[in-house]
Structure 1
Amino acid sequence: MPDDTTIAVFDAVRALAFIGDLSMGQPTDHSLRTAWLAEMIATAAGCEASQVEAARHVALLRWSGCTANAQEFADFMEDDVQGRSALLASQKPRAAQQPPRSVPLPDGMLAMATIHCEIAGDIANTLRLGPDTEAALRAIFETYDGGGVPGLLQGDDVPLATYVVALASDLEIFSRLYGLDQALALAHGRANSVYPGFLVDASTPQVAAWMKALDAAVPPWTDVADPPASMRERIGLELVGDVIDLKLPWMTGYSRRVAQLARDCSVRAGLDEALCQRTYKAGLIHGIGRASVPNAIWNAPEPLPASSLERLRLVPYWTSRAAGQVDGLALEAEIASFAFERRDGSGYFRGRSGTAMPLEGQIVAAAEQWVSLRTRRPWRDAFTETQALDRMREEVAAGRFDQAVVDALFASVLSHATAKPVVPAAPVRGEQPLSERELEVLRCIARGENTKQVARALDISPRTVRTHVERLFLKLECSTRAAATLKAATRGLI
């Protein structure tokens, strides 16, 4: 049987595109539409085949860094999802040949852009999509006139795919919101400032036909040729779960824990190997829909107002809608969509009850509830194991969980408690090993703890913490805590 943790890179990219669309408050076909437009623009402009392919990949992964800076964005605009959507919808054309910005951007904006670009570039590197794609993602906010973010590149120093995707995104968003004429006006207003004018000139005669094709009953990207070899490679689905969890610092490793517990429960419940594998994958992607809910809601103490609860109820719906459109994850998405259902019908989003819930869905729901109880939130400590066991028994008594499922869960939890501690994976060739103290610091910052909190937790000075963080960044070849967290997760260090 194939490796139970892998999917095709093509499917991983599609899943990450949906997560990005949800994070940006966009329709879940925004990145797909943009990718198709980027391919058309690059082809019309006479780009080489490798550049066309890079533009398509960059368009799909352009927003893949959004979960990583969601908390910083929430601190900046409160609602990180609607705030981003409003920014995209309210952009104005810049005068052609406008000189580069002379006033420095606020540190917060620069930091958010740095986090976003580093994560997106690291994702491309992990997926082995090639240097052109990675370079474009690391410069995704740079512009032709040098007035982008961080404003270190301009002109031909910016990868061409960055420009192609910026134009494609402008045309997609503004045509959808304000009509084709407004979209073209914006594009011409940005020619030779945001992107080179030759891309706009090459696109203008064909944009109307492209938009008509995009709005057809059968979207053009559904009839694509076989993906290139790079997109047919296999990649661990854990990467998608790790990117989901970057949205909230206190959720680091959350999807992996749900997936592992769900698989262990499935084995104890007597499911066959194929269903155990499917349940594990469902656990990894059950949180895709979380990207649609602003961090302010996730970080708020219960009870939540009705408006917030309604947005939470849509989390499994968006998981089902998004992942369900990825061929390689359709079955797992169906299971994952039951993660918040309850046997008494009190869950969401369907309100299914009893036998209407598949056993795999009940297992994922129980695993998610256990991990939720055992995870610290900004407004409460993690439940102790005893407290969590008591709460799960109460849920069974109330008819919300099946006794046999919870028994399998308890057996799995107790088995983990008596198992030997997991040893971090040994570094592969070319990776520098981390000391035990560096691993301790890494685990702390991966949970979102600041320098002072890490110092208190480890009984060391803030200066020593900063020294360890600098060494971590050097060894992990990154410059932000979000990137260190993602790399640590993908390497099995946390």
Structure 2
Amino acid sequence: IEMHIVHLADVVEVHLRAGGPATAVAVARARRGTQFCPRVVQVFDEAAAEITAGVLEQDAWSAALARAPDGNDVLSDPELDELLRAMGDFVDLKCPFLLGHSKHVADLAAAAGRYRGLSGAHVELLYRAGLVHGLGRMGVPNQIWEKPGPLTTAEWERVRMYPYLTDRILSRVDGLESVVALARTHRERLDGSGYPNGLRGAELHAESRILAAAETYQRLLEPRPHRRALTAEDAAARMRRDARAGRFDAEAVEAVLGAAGHRTERRAPWPAGLTGREVEVLGLVALGYTNRQIAAELHITHKTTRNHVEHLYTKLGVHNRTQAGLAAIDLGLMPW
């Protein structure tokens, strides 16, 4: 009976906001015996004015906490993990193709963190953020998530908001500050092309880079209304292409792929997520070489050189060649 009540409340609350109590009652009556339990509809019909009085004026979060019998209890670590797993599972029920997504992302991100040599606390943080990274999807209509064709500009803007909604939801929970700070970055990209805040380079720490790579790799393995699932090999190839293009941290990608069972070279990573070629370019930038001189020195095109310079600027969080040279010295990347 509790779930029958929730089913009714979930729908009539929307119509209550849109058209008031009369509209909410009309929708309940129309769906009686099909979508809604007749007994629940009858109770709502007979006492709609009393049930809906003040509902739209009160803060639902505060009202729920006030009714919680264990509102002063502090969860242990295992209890917190259990709660976050339940939240992730709940979000994944929103769309059939998402089933298991959050748990897989959490497991993969944590494994990648261990592969990268992060501390136990950071691995635990990756796991928890992975479980709830997609909570904000609940704020985007299913007709957008399940649309087989291209999204309109307005629809795409709704999608770009979901990490922000994850932040808004979880920020109201005391004790999850670090989880929230990480979870909201899973769609950010090193080159600033991600969302919702367009963070780039040094603004994204190692955990953010790993979570972004883990979520993307897992998503590529899953079918979507607009595409088929990729094979593990194709997903890995795509991740590496995007890393070379500067969208993902190459070391984070390799950590995720290694954790997923792909063959990968393990070596001491370059700082700031730089690739070997970017380190070569950075050294020449620091020595005062122009882009054309770098291209000639390394036997690459001028356009490729320009792209490398832009990528290393992004990863280092700098804006000009002087700042890049200073960063190279600070990171110990110069030969002297």
Question: 1:248 and 1:226, CA in 2 relative to 1: closer, same or farther beyond 3 A?
Answer: closer
Find the aligned partners of 2:122 and 2:69 in 1 and give their Cα distance. 28
Find the aligned partners of 1:65 and 1:221 in 2 and give their Cα distance. 15
- Listed as ranges, the matches of 1:59-458 within 5 Å are 85-93=14-22, 105=32, 107=34, 109-110=35-36, 142=40, 145-146=42-43, 167=50, 170-173=53-56, 176=57, 228=70, 232=74, 234=79, 236=82, 237-414=84-261
Find the aligned partners of 2:200 and 2:143 in 1 and give their Cα distance. 30
CA deviation profile, 1:180-208 (whole Å, cap 9, x unmatched): xxxxxxxxxxxxxxxxxxxxxxxxxxxxx
CA deviation profile, 1:153-184 (whole Å, cap 9, x unmatched): x9xxxxxxxx89x95654131xx4xxxxxxxx
Using the TM superposition, give the Cα deviation of residue 378 of structure 1 relative to its aligned residue in structure 2, in angstroms. Answer: 2.6
CA deviation profile, 1:340-394 (whole Å, cap 9, x unmatched): 0000000000100011012111111111101111001233210011211111011
Aligned residue type for 1:295: N
Using the TM superposition, give the Cα deviation of residue 224 of structure 1 relative to its aligned residue in structure 2, in angstroms. Answer: 7.2
Q: CA RMSD in A?
A: 3.8
Aligned residue type for 1:142: V
Q: Is the 8 A contact 2:44 2:51 kept in 1?
A: no
Find the aligned partners of 2:9 and 2:133 in 1 and give their Cα distance. 19
2:326 corresponding residue in structure 1 = none
Higher normalized contact order (CA 8 Å, seq sep 6+, divided by chain length): 1
Task: Indicate the structure (1 or 2) with the bigger Cα radius of gyration.
Answer: 2
Aligned residue type for 1:395: D
Q: Is the 8 A contact 1:374 1:384 kept in 2?
A: yes
Find the aligned partners of 1:383 and 1:325 in 2 and give their Cα distance. 37
Question: 1:252 and 1:410, CA in 2 relative to 1: closer, same or farther beyond 3 A?
Answer: same
Find the aligned partners of 2:9 and 2:253 in 1 and give their Cα distance. 36
Question: Identity of aligned pairs, percent?
Answer: 32
Q: Secondary structure at the match of 1:282?
A: helix
Find the aligned partners of 1:298 and 1:403 in 2 and give their Cα distance. 29
Q: Is the 8 A contact 2:163 2:185 kept in 1?
A: yes
Runs of at least 4 residues off by over 2 Å: 61-66, 83-89, 91-94, 103-107, 145-148, 166-170, 219-235
Aligned residue type for 1:379: H
In structure 2, list runs of 5 or more residues that go unmatched. Answer: 264-336
Using the TM superposition, give the Cα deviation of residue 246 of structure 1 relative to its aligned residue in structure 2, in angstroms. Answer: 0.7
Using the TM superposition, give the Cα deviation of residue 105 of structure 1 relative to its aligned residue in structure 2, in angstroms. Answer: 3.0
Find the aligned partners of 1:306 and 1:223 in 2 and give their Cα distance. 37
Question: 1:374 and 1:223, CA in 2 relative to 1: closer, same or farther beyond 3 A?
Answer: closer
Q: Is the 8 A contact 2:188 2:196 kept in 1?
A: yes
In structure 1, list runs of 5 or more residues that go unmatched. Answer: 1-57, 67-72, 74-82, 95-99, 114-138, 149-153, 155-162, 177-210, 417-494
Question: 1:399 and 1:302, CA in 2 relative to 1: closer, same or farther beyond 3 A?
Answer: farther
Aligned residue type for 1:274: A
